Amino acid sequence: MLRQMEGSQAVAETVARCRPEVICAYPISPQTHLVEGLSAIVKSGRLGSCQFVNVESEFAAMSVAIGASAAGARAYTATASQGLLYMTEALYNASGLGLPIVMTVANRAIGAPINIWNDHSDSMSQRDSGWIQLYVESNQEAVDVHIQAFRLAEQLSLPVMVCMDGFILTHAFERVELPEQDQIDAILPAYEPRQLLDPSDPITIGAMVGPEAFTEVKYLAHLRQMQALDLIPEIAAAYEQQSGRASGGLLRRYRSHDAETIVVALGSVIGTIEDVIDELRKDGNRIGCVGIKTFRPWPAAEIRSALAGASRVVVLEKALSVGLGGIVSQNVHASIEGTGAKIHTAIAGLGGRPITRSSLYALFTTALNGQLGATTFVDLNHGLVDREIQRALASRRCGPHAENMLRDLGAVAAGPV
């Protein structure tokens, strides 16, 4: 049914129609509306014996999901930001044990400084956790990809993170086609576990493995995740055949086939980029976009192929590896080495800084003119930074950067106490 609704509510309704058996979550902004919605659905009795487990932390949320999944239940949770970090130890257990948990990450920045707004720092920090990571660009895609994620997770026995931009998508009212129950059932058969904790047929899961087989277990984990590179497009194609919608997959190309300059990005900014590309195309600029839908496993061959004709690649990313620069850029770089394309990193949207069409227009125009540097912080307030650097040079006891800069900006509650 076609509806105009909030992203969080659309995902909650979709997850409910995926027939989860255990949902456990600890609330954190901007994930809260999503789990509120699910808890209301569970309480209504619509999901039969499905349990909504209130836990005392994100560490507990993931631990309960692990236990539920090992006992053969379809398990779901959601989190964001510091909540994802608090889960970290359990995340590695879920993937290492091969448990097909599906989790929504409502992407949000990581403190300090404390910041509740959107960027990709949280999920990017867990890119090596062994979870499959899918990034969506709209609420419709969030709906579609959650259904695909359960199928993918269970077919491979691997956990899947669906990353959707916090606030920008979770709190946005958009037009969404919610698949009917029978459509979802056709895509998503009942969960058949590869391993099951069952008192009537006891096994153990989670052995200590020494040097004699640890490398081999990790090798198989890698092998299994790489299998997702074949399975993700298969599931997306089956889903498209049934729903008529191209959602998910490994990559999405937009006007990139004849493009000399290609922008690479993830998440909700892709739509904004496409609008700007249309503007620039009107003036004859050969510019396109490659949206990365699957970040882990990394679709290296597909990236190399999609960027093969480009002489210039601008990677726009909402996270920063402090001391290195762009994270996505490093992955792209490794995939297109030797093609001669020049890679530029544009760090944008950190901590909720809006990525506007006018900023993107200026950024891409600079790139098209051959004037973009290796790494750019989009819309950086240079004056603000320079003043703080001068303060630090002038005095040893210069105080905390964040408070000093908020005072410069005249923000409230930043003065001396």
Partner 1 sequence: MFEIRIHGRGGQGAVTAAELLSVAAFEEGRHAQAFPSFGSERTGAPVVSFCRISERAIRTHDPIATPDALIIVDATLVHQVDVFGGLKPDGYVLINTSRGIEELNLQELAQRHNPERLCAVPATELAREELGRPLPNAALLGAFSALTAAISIGAVVQAIQDRFGGSVGAGNAAAANRAFALVRARMGEPAHA
Interface with partner 1 by CB under 8 A: which range of 53-61, 235-243, 256-264, 268-276? 268-276
Options 76, 86, 167, 239; binder of partner 1; rule CB under 8 A? 167
Would you count residue 197 as binding partner 1 (CB under 8 A)?
Answer: no
Cα angle, residue 143 at apex, residues 179 and 229 outer, rounded to 5°: 110
Find the part of the chain contacting partner 1 (CB under 8 A) among 50-58, 217-225, 318-326, 353-361. 353-361
Stretch that binds partner 1, among 142-150, 197-205, 349-357, 391-399 (CB under 8 A): 349-357
- Which residue among 39, 82, 330, 356 contacts partner 1 (CB under 8 A)? 356
CA-CA distance, 56 to 344, in Å (whole number)? Answer: 43
Query: Of these, 28, 35, 355, 368, which contacts partner 1 (CB under 8 A)?
Result: 355
Q: Taking CB under 8 A as the rule, does residue 173 contact partner 1?
A: yes
Report in angstroms how near the CB of residue 130 gets to partner 1 at its nearest. Answer: 30
Q: Does 168 bind partner 1 (CB under 8 A)?
A: yes
Asked if residue 268 binds partner 1 (CB under 8 A), the reply is: yes
Residue 135 sits in the site that holds partner 1 (CB under 8 A): no
Q: Which of residues 25-54 bind partner 1 (CB under 8 A)?
A: 30
Query: At its nearest, how many Å lie between partner 1 and the CB of residue 136?
Result: 12
**x-marked contacts with partner 1 along 371-390 as a string, rule CB under 8 A:** --------------------
Per CB under 8 A, does 6 bind partner 1?
A: yes
Using rule CB under 8 A, residue 279 touches partner 1:
no
Q: Is residue 117 a contact point for partner 1 (CB under 8 A)?
A: yes
Work out which of 358, 369, 371, 395 binds partner 1, going by CB under 8 A.
358
Cβ closest to partner 1, residue 108 vs residue 286: 108
Q: Which stretch binds partner 1 (CB under 8 A): 183-191, 194-202, 271-279, 322-330?
A: 271-279
Instruction: Pick from 43, 46, 175, 218 the residue near partner 1 by CB under 8 A.
Output: 175
Please tell me whether residue 4 binds partner 1 under the rule CB under 8 A. Answer: yes
Question: Looking at 93, 96, 171, 185, which residue binds partner 1 (CB under 8 A)?
Answer: 171
Q: Does 354 bind partner 1 (CB under 8 A)?
A: yes
Show contacts of 220-224: CB within 8 Å, 24+ apart. Answer: 221/95, 221/96, 221/98, 221/130, 224/98, 224/156, 224/157, 224/158
- From residue 190, alpha-carbon distances to 129, 148, 155, 271 in Å are 26, 14, 11, 34
Other C-beta atoms closer than 10 Å to the C-beta of 203 total 9
Q: What's the min distance (Å) between Cβ of 42 and partner 1?
A: 23
Q: Per rule CB under 8 A, is residue 309 in the interface with partner 1?
A: no
Choosing from 28, 143, 169, 235, the residue that interacts with partner 1 (CB under 8 A) is 169
What 3 state SS string does the chain have?
A: CEEEEEHHHHHHHHHHHCCCCEEEECCCCCCHHHHHHHHHHHHCCCCCCCEEEECCCHHHHHHHHHHHHHCCCCEEEEECHHHHHHCHHHHHHHHHCCCCCEEEEEECCCCCCCCCCCCCHHHHHCCCCCCEEEECCCHHHHHHHHHHHHHHHHHHCCCEEEEEECCCCCCCEEEEECCCHHHHHHHCCCCCCCCCCCCCCCCCCCCCCCCCCHHHHHHHHHHHHHHHHHHHHHHHHHHHHHHCCCCCCCEEEECCCCCCEEEEECCCHHHHHHHHHHHHHHCCCCEEEEEECEEECCCHHHHHHHCCCCCEEEEEECCCECCCECHHHHHHHHHHCCCCCEEEEEECCHHHCCCCHHHHHHHHHHHHCCCCCCEEECCCCHHHHHHHHHHHHHCCCCCCHHHHHHHHHCCCCCCCC
411 interacts with partner 1 by CB under 8 A: no
Cβ closer to partner 1: 173 or 219?
173
**Shortest separation between residue 3's beta carbon and partner 1, angstroms:** 8
Q: Which residue among 61, 264, 269, 332 contacts partner 1 (CB under 8 A)?
A: 269
Decide: is 174 part of the binding site for partner 1 (CB under 8 A).
Answer: yes
Q: What are phi and psi of 171, to 5 degrees?
A: -105, 5
Which CB, 153 or 169, lies closer to partner 1? 169
Residue ranges binding partner 1 (CB under 8 A): 3-4, 6, 30, 116-117, 138, 165, 167-169, 171-175, 268-272, 274-275, 352, 354-358
